Structure 1
Amino acid sequence: MDNKRLDLNLLATLEALLEEQNVTRAAARLHLSQPAVSAQLSRLRDMFNDPLLIPAHRGMMPTTKALELLTPLRIALDQVRETLITHQHFEPAQASLTITIACTDYLQAVIGLAVMNELRRQAPGIRIAIRSLEPPRLEAQMARGEVDLALMTPEEAPKVLRIRPLYDENYVLVGCWNHSQLSEEMTIEEYVQLEHVIVSLSGGDFSTQVDQVLQTLGYRRNVVLSTSSFLFVPEIVAHSRFVALVPRRLVAQRSDLKVVESPIKSLGFKVGMVWHERNHGHSAHRWVREQIARIVGCVSK
């Protein structure tokens, strides 16, 4: 390889081709025409003396050499991008920036509005995209720059991503405001006899981790409704005789619900902030992370 003729644009094209494994999608990502990307792929093949990508049933498949190149290529290009960006001092009031945040519906409801309002107040030129959290795809989405930041349970995050804990959440039992069977002194025997709504994030399940805990204790609760979102649950129980376990912060401002402690102790989860190494040193992204940590700290108290 003649290093004197090295073209960084070609390496950026190679990164896009290896990640997308499709010339058309790579061209769209690079804002180039398909013929231009095909011509660059031909030059890359000559440069590395390898086909790099070969036709497959759907799109293209990387060769062994291409797979070996991908990780060091990403690292090298990220370092170049970082060099071009991080020397600039970030000024929120003058910044023009788009941030994509992935999180669950619960977190959108509990802290989403506060985060969006405060970031926009300090940085009027910022644009914020909120998208649904997809843990199995998160690492790839962050590597491709499709997601900049995720708010989620840290235990569910891919190990290669950076994590910052934010707060601990616990579950409370809720029902309509005049539900006579809800009380702080409720026993597990009384609890399991009620009609329960549960949240199945995958959809359609009538059993959760709570039911596994109950089973070890010799109990089985009466689950009558399964929904895929926490956001609907407060409305459902407010207008029925159903009850549900929900995160405390989700119903903190609801005066139309009766809220009692769960008879099953130690039910809860952690919430954290997750990001990719490629964004770790970026001054704007670092500022956004610090602001979110501060905002969430105030909201979650």
Structure 2
Amino acid sequence: MADMNPLRKFDLNLLVVFETLIVERHVTRTAERLYLSQPAVSHALRRLREALDDPLLVKTERGMQPTPRALELLPGVQQALKLIDRTLTPPPAFDPATSRRRFVIATNDYFEELLYPGFLASVQPRAPHLEFAIEVISQSVLCKGLENREVDLVVGLEADTELPSTLMSEPWIREELVCLVARSNRVVGDSLSLEDFVRQPQIGLSQVGAGNPEWVDQWLSAQGLERRLLSRSLNYMAAARTVALTDAVLTLPRELAMLFCTLLPLRLVQPPAGMPRPEMTLVHHPLYERDGAIRWLRAELQDCAQNMTGS
């Protein structure tokens, strides 16, 4: 059976030579325009004649003239070359000042409570048309959301979280942990020993979507210890409000603890020696590694973290 697809045997590079030859109607000028040697153009013309079964250019008293077949093919070839050129031309660079892109960030309340308002305040004057949306980190986001571009970036995930092998992560923030208690708490002083720490009633955090135990529980478990939990909360603000009304202790990153001390009747307490300093990350999908908009977003979030920590 004859091959019904002529492209299988046709060298598409010849189309550029064909278009220039028919426009210039001269082998030497074609060679000069394409930065090729004259023999190379002559060889390409022979191949074109064989492939298209037509002389294409014929010597006349007026010089080389295209055949009717060549003139018939020229508009379609020119259109095809323009389409290929548009297709292969890199997209315009991302310009936050004019872009109307909508970013979806999957994150936890650490970022949303502590950094997100300042991030928006910083970005908005420079990128007035951008839109942002927040989504909760979930296994669906990690397994499908990033790849399907339903989510652009995952912000604040613990560095030791097990990720699908297809994802990429980069360090973002490392913070020391401190404790919070109510200002009215007379049982806990300015610091807690490890022995006192495990005796105090505590508010834990449910790690929604992360799949890991809380940092404090991991640290205690490695020492064969377990703390006394009064409750687990879904977010830091609810946990802090509970602490303000009880004699419980909440362990959380320092910057977030300092924020809550300005909003609620709480005070900072030095945690037991050796408390870990958790590292949080930015996670994205390598499919969009070269996406200028996502690279801009990652850089902005890194600047935001550096401005907060001063490191």
Shorter-chain TM-score bucket reads 0.5 to 0.7
Cα distance between partner residues in 2 of 1:3 and 1:147: 42
- The letter of the residue matching 1:279 is Y
Provide, for residues 209-228 of structure 1, a one-character-per-residue CA deviation record: whole Å limited to 9, x for no partner.
53454355454432221222
Number of residue equivalences: 223
CA distance in 2, matches of 1:278, 1:125: 25
1:121 paired with 2:125, answer: yes
Q: Trace 1:287-298 onto structure 2 (pairs within 5 A).
A: 287-298=296-307
CA distance in 1 between counterparts of 2:239 and 2:153 reads 27
- The corresponding residue for 1:194 is 200
Q: 1:218 to 1:167 in 2, by over 3 A?
A: closer
Percent same amino acid among aligned pairs? 23
Q: Quick check: 260-269 or 170-179, which moved more?
A: 260-269
Give, in whole Å, the separation in 2 of the partners of 1:85 and 1:106: 41
CA distance in 1 between counterparts of 2:6 and 2:242 reads: 65
* 1:216/1:296 CA distance change after superposition, 3 Å: closer
Aligned to 1:95: 99
Q: Write the deviation string for residues 28-82 of structure 1: whole angstroms up to 9, x where unpaired.
A: xxxxxxxxxxxxxxxxxxxxxxxxxxxxxxxxxxxxxxxxxxxxxxxxxxxx9xx
Structure 2 unaligned residues grouped into runs of 5+:
9-83
Which segment is superposed worse, 174-183 or 122-131?
174-183
Change (3 A) 1:2 1:242: farther
Q: Distance in 2 between matches of 1:87 and 1:177?
A: 56
Please say if residues 115 and 296 of structure 1, whose CA atoms lie closer than 8 Å, have aligned partners that are also in contact: no
CA distance in 2, matches of 1:127, 1:3: 47
Q: How far apart are 1:185 and its partner, in Å?
A: 4.4
1:299 aligns with 2:304: no
Q: Kindly state the Cα deviation for residue 277 of structure 1 after the two structures are TM-superposed.
A: 1.6
Instruction: Pick from 247, 266, 277 the counterpart of residue 268 of structure 1.
Output: 277
CA contact (8 A) 1:182 1:258 kept: no
In the alignment, which residue of structure 2 is the partner of 1:223? 229
Offset at residue 106 of structure 1 (A): 1.8
Structure 1 equivalent of residue 176 of structure 2 = 170
Residue in 2 that maps onto 1:75: none
> Could you report, residue by residue, the CA deviation over 1:199-239 in whole angstroms, capped at 9, with x for unpaired residues?
12259xxx855345435545443222122222211111112
Q: Is the CA contact 1:86–1:282 (under 8 Å) kept in the aligned structure 2? A: no
Kindly indicate whether the alpha-carbon contact (under 8 Å) linking 1:200 and 1:228 is maintained by their aligned counterparts in 2.
Answer: yes
TM-score by length of 2: 0.63
Contact 1:154 1:272 in 2 (8 A): yes
Deviation at 1:270, TM superposition (A): 0.8
TM-score normalised to structure 1 length: 0.65
Task: From the superposition, tell whether residues 143 and 180 of structure 1 become closer, same or farther in structure 2 (CA, over 3 Å).
Answer: same
Counterpart residue number, 1:154 = 159
